[in-house]
Amino acid sequence: MDKVIKVYIYAISSDVETELATGYNPKWSPDGALIAYGYARDLYIIKPDGTG
């Protein structure tokens, strides 16, 4: 089983780190518009601002 982690995004320009979710294996979509991650046998897809 994969280790559950916090999913964060970091804005270099403002030096701000924001927690988006709890899950595992977060991956960016090829176009950078979405982040996919797993949690409790489900797949979630969110926007980098945490909505989705």
Say if residue 24 is exposed, middle or buried (CB neighbours under 10 Å; 0-12, 13-18, 19+). middle
The domain ranges of the chain are 5-46
Residue 17 pLDDT:
93
Q: Which residues pair with 47 in a beta bridge?
A: none
d(CA 6, CA 26): 9
Residue 51 pLDDT:
87
Indicate if the pLDDT at residue 1 is higher than 70: no
Q: What is the pTM of this model?
A: 0.79
Neighbouring CB atoms inside 10 A of 48's CB total 16
d(CA 51, CA 49): 6
